[in-house]
Chain A
Amino acid sequence: MAAEDLPSEFDVVILGTGLTESVAAAAFSRVGQRVLHVDRRSYYAGNWASFTFSGLLTWIQQHHEEPLPEEAQDWSSLLEEGEELIHLSHSDCASIRNLQVFCFTSEEDEEEEAPNTTEEETGGAAEDSECADSTEEETKETGEEEEEVREEEEVREEEQTTPSAALRQSEPTKKKISYAQLLKEGRRFNIDLVSKLMYSRGSLVDLLIKSNVSRYAEFKNVTRILTYRDRQVEQVPCSRADVFASRQLSVVEKRKLMRFLTSCVEETEEQRAYNGRPYLEFLRDRQLGDNLQHFLLHSIAMVTEDTPTEEGLASTRHFLRCLGRYGNTPFLFPVYGLGEIPQCFCRMCAVFGGIYCLRHSVDGVVVDRDSNRCKAVIDSRGQRITCSHFVVEEGYVAADRKRVATPTRFLSRAVLITDGSILPSDSDQQVSMVTVPPIAAGCPAVKMVELCSSTMTCMPGTYLVHLTCQSVGSAYEDLSPVVTRMFRTPESHDQETCPSVLWCLYFNMTDGSGLEAEGHNLPSNVYVCSGPDGDLGHELAIRQAESIFQKILPEEDFCPPAPNPEDIIYDGDNTSSSAGGEEEKEENDGVAEEEKQEEEKEMLEEEKEMLEEEKEMLEEEKEMLEEEKEVLEEQNLQTEE
């Protein structure tokens, strides 16, 4: 894989392969712009990436390492008269912080051990030692330490066989997956750094369809919406079928819920009267009862208690609009993880001639002092590349040049690998969206997505759980209380029935929604893209990409459909790609006159055929009678008049 030199002239240079940058790249390339798309990293999608298990461990390690001191290279020799250089940042590590890793499963398989050693309790004694300084811990070390603790625990258990332990023995003992197994099956994981879902009528899905980029990926339905309430995980009925099947709702609640949802669809005077007042108040006044109020506020509108009514209703409507397009919930999830999506747009960009180069960065932007416009960029190898526009991910832009909300907003993220679903059901292949309302005053509301192995994001027998919320404290402070309550970890108590956490990662990521759209201290033809935001959908990224595109090419269509391969005219051939040469000849021989006669003849024959078919109808009719009998039977059921 020999590397060549890059061409030195482009219309648009794009730095960073996150969703926004990738969509923009595809859009530019699609309409004929020469695009150079580079990323400093060795992988696609930046903070939108997904990793195999070992890939994630490497990523963690990279973020633990001290960033290399940024030594700005002197590219002054590449500058011309009247030009100056804006240096770009080498390290975007600033966007990730507070990484903490825990491993709660044993290091190795224990084949020799007795079957009753269910290593389910890993003991509270280890808590303190584990939490302390885990940031600096190597994951492997955590595992080893864990091993010792577990052995102690076993001894205890054997001494005093608690009733619950006895009970567990009687069940077929499920072997807990070891850390070694996670590593071995590591390539079956595709662990996303961001956790989002695709609203089935959201702007991302619309764009995928419109542009034909959807053909590069496959998608799975989110199969159910869950919520955490009164220390229990419950399924939220949202579709008609769900409401019908729900066991938690009384029939009267069912009616009220359906009626409420139906009435939401259209805006009414009654609703407008609540504008500016909390949605919760609106719900309360509908006398729906606690159950329904919880579902509607937290799981369907997915808003907080003080969200205004008009906003709550808008999200409710969006939810309803998305419902049932592809399945029973409003959401889709890409097979192999969200990291696929930016790559799909990159592929489209490449198909239309965009040039791709990972492990390659832009060191600086050459600015013409007079016009304050970017004329070129200097890449990390010191090549000067002329461009008319430069699009860059915010992580590369020095803090003093961009305008962001203060204080910096962060997202808290947790990624868990667990050994069971938080709500087991008939199928072990559920994809669940879980809403967790604030567990105490001042705590953030948490969005949780549980992925099963058929999404190709985790190995069979495990589940991948993503937790996301707006940061209040560190990711660990924000999310571990939820994890401890809903899962079995060494810190949890009496959680016999909960799935165990095998491994988990906490980190904070800059919230992309903090980036201002305008007002950066940059040339006018440099465009900054924000990183991932905390919303469940992808609206921000798509909107941003479209607006950058429209600023540069206001007349052009944004991501028109890629043509079908059959319809493309190749250089030097005018024939269709599907038809072989010989057949083509045959066609050309046909004289128009002859064709006409042929057609007439055919029509006559078609008629003859119809007569024939009519004859057959008699036979059919006989059979129809049977059907009719069936219909009658049904009517019998319907009425006894």
Chain B
Amino acid sequence: MSMEDYDYLFKIVLIGNAGVGKTCLVRRFTQGLFPPGQGATIGVDFMIKTVEIKGEKVKLQIWDTAGQERFRSITQSYYRSANALILTYDITCEDSFRCLPEWLREIEQYANNQVVTILVGNKIDLAEKREVLRQRAEDFAEAQSMLYLETSAKESDNVEKLFLDLACELIREAKQNKLDNNDTAPMPGEGKTISYLSCCSLN
């Protein structure tokens, strides 16, 4: 237990075709639930889970696409301040794999240069329907210098590992670039109330 909320806060963003199980991965990880029920994730911007890694509290803010991928209409701003990207496809759906280069183009265009990207093949519980061979995906990931993992949100295979691995990697990077992280942009909502004109008369 620590009274302090966290030592690190990372924003993780999921992308990939509709129906590959992005939301299931998130809810499996953050809530331990599957299936996540019929009611979609309306109103859910992101999910939070705090994990502990080597004694440090890491708060993971996991963002989902909000369905904008359905008609290939994800906003650029979605990628902007992500620390990590989880690029997901469905191993039982060749099409979802073939779309990956398109997704990579978006990443290159809009995401931060230092973003950590991991390729995830989901639905390994449906091994009998596999359309994308593991080796093919591994090769692809390696060529794009991404990490690679196969998961099952349903069976909870590798889901924990996926996020913990990412967290470790992000901590490692954060420690390397510690100095760059001190940038503090003002956020609406936390405005200071300094009166600039005079000590007493304004505001």
Closest to A50 in B: B76
The 6 closest A-B pairs by CB, nearest first: A571-B39, A324-B196, A343-B75, A350-B66, A571-B37, A326-B186
| A218-B185, A356-B67, A566-B48 known; A44 vs B197 contact (CB < 8 Å) | no
Check B136 for interface membership: any CB of A closer than 8 A: no
- Contacting B77 at CB < 8 Å: which of A52, A240, A344, A356? A344
Does the CB pair B71–A351 fall under 8 Å? Answer: no
Q: List 25 A-B contacts (CB under 8 A).
A: A1-B99, A1-B102, A3-B72, A6-B71, A214-B189, A219-B187, A239-B197, A258-B197, A261-B197, A326-B186, A339-B76, A340-B76, A343-B75, A350-B65, A350-B66, A351-B45, A353-B42, A353-B67, A356-B70, A357-B73, A570-B27, A570-B41, A571-B36, A572-B39, A577-B31
Q: How far is the CB of B4 from chain A (nearest CB, A)?
A: 15
CA distance A534 to B65 in the complex (A): 34
A325 CA / B189 CA spacing, docked (Å): 10
- A208, A258, A265, A356: the one contacting B71 at CB < 8 Å is A356
Q: Which residue of B lies closest to A323 (CB)?
A: B196
Q: Would you give the shortest CB distance from B99 to chain A, in whole angstroms?
A: 5
A335 within 8 Å of B (CB atoms): yes
Rounded to whole Å, the gap between the CB of A348 and the closest CB of chain B is 8
Over the window 554-589 of chain A, the binary record of Cβ atoms lying under 8 Å from chain B Cβ atoms (1 yes, 0 no) is 000000001101101011110001101100000000
Is A504 close to B, CB under 8 A?
A: no
Interface residues of A in 314-345 (CB under 8 A from B): 320, 323-328, 332, 335-336, 339-340, 343-344
Query: A347 on the interface (CB 8 Å rule)?
Result: yes
Q: Is B81 positioned at the interface, with any CB of A under 8 Å from its CB? A: yes
Q: Are A220 and B186 in contact (CB under 8 A)?
A: yes
Tell me if A187 is interfacial: C-beta within 8 Å of chain B: yes
Range class of the A interface residue count:
35 or more
The verdict on A85 contacting chain B, using a C-beta distance below 8 Å, is no
| A356: chain B residues within 8 A (beta carbon) | 67-68, 70-71, 73
In the complex, which of the residues A218, A358, A568, A573 contacts B44, with contact meaning CB atoms closer than 8 Å?
A: A568
A346 to B193, CA, bound (A): 30
Nearest Cβ on chain B to A212's Cβ, whole angstroms: 8
Nearest A residue to B46, CB-CB: A565
Please give, as numbers and ranges, the residues of chain B lying within 8 Å of A221 by CB-CB distance.
186
Residue A443, interface by CB 8 Å: no
B177 at the interface (CB under 8 A from A): no
Residue from A3, A240, A573 within 8 A of B198 (CB atoms): A240
Q: How far is the CA of A221 from the CA of B196 in the complex (A)?
A: 15
Interface residue A59 (Cβ < 8 Å from any Cβ of B):
no
Interface centre among B36, B77, B202 (most CB of A within 10 A): B77
User: What residues of B have a CB within 8 angstroms of the CB of A326 in the complex?
Assistant: 186, 188, 191-192
Q: Which A residue's beta carbon lies closest to that of B16?
A: A1
Contact string against B for A residues 297-325, beta-carbon threshold 8 Å, 1 for contact and 0 otherwise:
00000000000000000000000100111
Closest B residue to A265 using CB positions: B202
B108 at the interface (CB under 8 A from A): yes
A188 to B, closest residue via Cβ? B113
Q: Give the distance in Å from the alpha carbon of A4 to the alpha carbon of B17 in the complex.
A: 12
Binary contact track A486-509/B, C-beta < 8 Å → 1, others 0: 000000000000000000000000
Other than the given A240-B196, A350-B65, A356-B71, 15 more pairs (CB < 8 A) read A2-B17, A3-B71, A52-B109, A187-B108, A214-B188, A215-B187, A218-B185, A219-B187, A265-B202, A324-B194, A326-B186, A343-B77, A351-B44, A357-B73, A571-B37
Indicate if B7 sits at the interface (CB-CB under 8 A).
no
Report chain B residues within 8 Å CB of A323.
Answer: 196-197
Question: Which residues of the partner chain A approach B188 to less than 8 Å between Cβ atoms?
Answer: 200, 205, 208-209, 214, 219, 326, 332
Interface residue B38 (Cβ < 8 Å from any Cβ of A): yes
A357 close to B71 (CB less than 8 A): yes
8 Å CB interface, B152-203 against A: 185-189, 191-198, 201-202
* In contact, A332 and B196 (Cβ under 8 angstroms): no
Complex-state Cα separation, A240 to B200, whole angstroms = 13
Select which of A239, A265, A565 is within 8 A of B45 by beta carbon. A565
**Assembly CA distance A578 to B171 (angstroms):** 22
Least CB distance from B30 to A in Å reads 7
